[in-house]
Amino acid sequence: MTKSVSSASSEAPASLSQPAIRTPQSNRPRLDFAQRQANRQLATRDLLALLRSEAPKLYDLAQVVGKWVWIQFADKQPPQVTAVLAQLGFHWNNKRQVWQHPCGVLTEASPDDPRDKYGSFFAADRQAA
């Protein structure tokens, strides 16, 4: 089961867009790599809380797969959205065509779909009403 949208808002959340600085050679935001590395160590619950407060549109797309979090879009996203994902600690998995966050748990790549092994759910679907 996959949830995707054709486009997320191109506006980055205020607190996540502040450290991004435009580089002279491109129009892409520069990342704070120390913060990115710290964000990659966040536990699943902490990452979901950060997404929910700082990037609610991304939270609505967040799929928990085992201890990892995946975000999938139907179309390519603008640089502002990909910069926010990268700053949050996500990386692009070209094979699976999803943005993935390891939530501090790094494992060797497997040819099998982790959703089959670990199960998955959309974070927004588990949110209390």
pLDDT in tens, 61-80: 999 999 999 999 999 999 99
| pLDDT reported for residue 125 | 87
- In the sheet with 68-71, reading across from the earlier edge strand, the strands are 91-93, 98-101, 68-71, 63-65, 120-122
Q: pLDDT digit string (tens) for 2-19?
A: 554 444 444 444 445 444
Q: pLDDT digit string (tens) for 79-127?
A: 999 999 999 999 999 999 999 999 987 666 667 777 888 888 898 888 6
| pLDDT reported for residue 57 | 96
Residue with tokens 């759910």: 121
Could you tell me the pLDDT band of residue 43, with boundaries at 50, 70 and 90? Answer: very high
Is residue 79 included in any domain, yes or no?
A: yes
Is residue 18 included in any domain, yes or no?
A: no
Is residue 22 included in any domain, yes or no?
A: no
Q: Is 115 exposed, middle or buried, given 0-12, 13-18 or 19+ CB atoms closer than 10 A?
A: middle
Task: Report how many helices (DSSP H) and strands (DSSP E) the chain contains, helices first.
Answer: 6, 7
Is residue 92 included in any domain, yes or no?
A: yes
**Nearest one of 31, 34, 50 to 42, comparing CA atoms:** 50
The residue segments making up the domain with residue 41 are 28-107+115-124
Is residue 7 included in any domain, yes or no?
A: no
| pLDDT reported for residue 16 | 56
Contacts of 50 (CB under 8 A, 6+ apart): 39, 42, 88
